[in-house]
Amino acid sequence: MSNVYMDNALEELRRLAAHAENRRTETGIPRVAMVQGEIPEHALAAVYEPMINLILQGSKSMTVGEKTLEYDPATYFIMSVDLPAVGAVHPASTGEPYLAVSLTLDLGIIAALLCDTTDAATGRGEPSTQTEAFNVAAITPELMDAWVRMLRLMERPSEIPALAPAYEREILYRVLQGPHGCMLRQLATPDSALARISSAIQRIRSDYAKPLRIAALAEQVAMSESAFHRHFKSATALSPLQYQKQLRLLQARQILATRGTSVTAAALDVGYESPTQFTREYARAFGLPPSQDAARMMASRRG
């Protein structure tokens, strides 16, 4: 497929997604959403679910731990585990607003796809010690074409039940064939290191306000403590303790922005024993002390 085709396909995707709002906008297609325009910075600091994100206009950066990735309409972003991240979106150089679509990953669909395809087609069976869980890759004409057919269903909603599952499988198939397909393969392989780390992440998320017991987590996923630390950091760019801290701070920020509670109450609610330590770490993470940041977020909501 030519560059002209790619340009035309991207233009069609922009047209189809043009009514997206500056927040997650459902498309009517299962697991497919879109967003457009300026998004408040605090709304982009969140725990992101596993997804494939395609930029149609403008650009975006995602920072997890000390790792920052930049991507634009020539690339797509893949995240295969739940990650606390900070994002920033930018309009196109010509002034058009940021515009993107995303597909939330369904582990069952990926596993079924692997069962229904040959090893050669998806790379299954290839040895890999990689546990990286997020990265950026160049968009291909085949992947772009699958996205076009998927979003066209917004104009033909009666066809969604019959055709969306096939197009979703094709999008996942094209990603499996790409340079980071190993993320999806490992996630859908129960004994892989990435699948085990994903299991540990779910435990940390459910118990984020409780003391973190590394030995128990390592035992749960059948790893030594040193191997657990190594694979966890490789996957998330964070240590388990840093991951838990990010969860706590993000949850506290949500509480402060929506409940109007005190800083001390928010700190205790997410597991901090020292409000002073909480305030210090919160300001380091978000640039302002909790009370000032809460006031800024509320003002943004009113605006």
Where would I find the H helices in the chain? Answer: 3-16, 107-116, 119-122, 141-152, 160-177, 181-187, 193-206, 214-220, 225-236, 240-259, 263-269, 275-286, 290-302
Instruction: From 37, 51, 167, 34, select the one nearest 101 (Cα to Cα).
Output: 34
What is the pLDDT at residue 121?
Answer: 55
What is the pLDDT at residue 127?
Answer: 45
- Return the C-alpha torsion angle 176, 178, 183, 189, nearest 10: 30
Task: Return d(Cα 173, Cα 186) in angstroms, integer.
Answer: 14
What is the pLDDT at residue 260?
Answer: 77
> From the first residue on, what is the mean pLDDT of each consecutive set of 10 residues in the chain (303 residues)?
86 95 94 90 85 96 91 93 93 93 96 81 53 91 96 98 98 94 91 94 96 96 96 95 96 88 94 96 92 84 61
Query: What is the reported pTM?
Result: 0.90
What is the pLDDT at residue 132?
Answer: 87
Task: Return d(Cα 198, Cα 204) in angstroms, integer.
Answer: 10
Identity at 136, one-letter amino acid code: V
